[in-house]
């Protein structure tokens, strides 16, 4: 876990695409997209069907590693409005156990806005915690500090003839976008115009590796 300072608060960035807030004992994750594979299967495109279990494995491991007592899921937790209903019984039980023992908050995203009922926890459109807004999609015109998801940022580089792609955080003075945690989620180039517009000037891609945070300015 690598220290990351934002809006006067100390966080820890995890290479697994999550953020831990020690002062709040809170784990922040974004874009889980549970049941993405089963959504594609309905249209004849078959992907490995274990994406929800793999994402739950990751959350379990991160909670154990950090000792988190709260989880904020920053939107698009399910891939579509029927995703929660398609969870297999084992995944549903695992998720119910997590939301039952942790202080779990679901932030609504554009993909899961139509989900009838979330499996445990509480559901809100946005939340303000310690003076920082937690949202699914960044609001460029709001000057308040904000942590969001939605864009699935990835840093893409060419190094010695090799193309490298890594999930990354994108941050500026008042905006921080989390990478997608979901097992089958793709990514948008961190330097894409929509991401740069969302975070404003001074943006950088942030990649936690080993014991340091690599910073790549986005011009």
Question: What integer pLDDT is reported at residue 49 of this predicted model?
Answer: 61
* Residues whose CB falls within 8 Å of the CB of residue 181, separated by 6 or more in sequence, listed in order: 16, 17, 18, 29, 30, 31, 32, 55, 58, 59
Question: What integer pLDDT is reported at residue 44 of this predicted model?
Answer: 66
Question: What integer pLDDT is reported at residue 121 of this predicted model?
Answer: 94
* Residues whose CB falls within 8 Å of the CB of residue 96, separated by 6 or more in sequence, listed in order: 119, 120
51 vs 209: CA distance, rounded Å: 25
- Of the candidates 141, 85, 160, 152, the one whose C-alpha atom is nearest the C-alpha of residue 115 is 85
Kind of pairing between the strands at 162-167 and 204-209: unpaired
Question: What integer pLDDT is reported at residue 76 of this predicted model?
Answer: 94
158 bridge partner residues: 163
Question: What integer pLDDT is reported at residue 99 of this predicted model?
Answer: 96
pLDDT beneath 70, residues of the chain: 39-41, 43-49
Give this prediction's pTM: 0.93
* Residues whose CB falls within 8 Å of the CB of residue 158, separated by 6 or more in sequence, listed in order: 164
Question: What integer pLDDT is reported at residue 36 of this predicted model?
Answer: 86
């Amino acid at each position: 876990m690598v220290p990351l300072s934002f809006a006067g608060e100390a966080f820890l960035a995890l290479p697994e695409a999550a953020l831990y807030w020690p002062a709040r004992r809170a784990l922040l994750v974004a874009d889980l997209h549970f049941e993405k594979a089963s959504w594609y299967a309905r249209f004849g495109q078959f992907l490995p069907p274990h994406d929800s279990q793999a994402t739950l494995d990751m959350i379990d491991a991160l909670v154990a590693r950090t000792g988190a007592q709260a989880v904020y899921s920053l939107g698009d937790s399910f891939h579509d409005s029927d995703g929660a209903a398609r969870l297999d019984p084992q995944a549903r039980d695992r998720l119910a156990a997590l939301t039952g023992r942790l202080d779990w908050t679901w932030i609504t995203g554009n993909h899961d806005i139509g989900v009838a009922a979330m499996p445990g926890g509480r559901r809100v459109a946005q939340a303000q915690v310690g003076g920082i807004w937690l949202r699914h999609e960044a609001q460029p015109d709001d000057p308040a500090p904000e942590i969001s998801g939605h864009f699935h940022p990835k840093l893409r580089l060419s190094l010695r003839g090799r193309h490298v792609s890594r999930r990354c955080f994108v941050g500026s003075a008042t905006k921080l976008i989390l990478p997608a945690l979901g097992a089958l989620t793709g990514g948008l180039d961190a330097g894409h115009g929509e991401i740069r517009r969302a975070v404003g000037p001074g943006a950088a891609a942030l990649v936690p590796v080993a014991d340091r945070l690599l910073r790549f300015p986005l011009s």
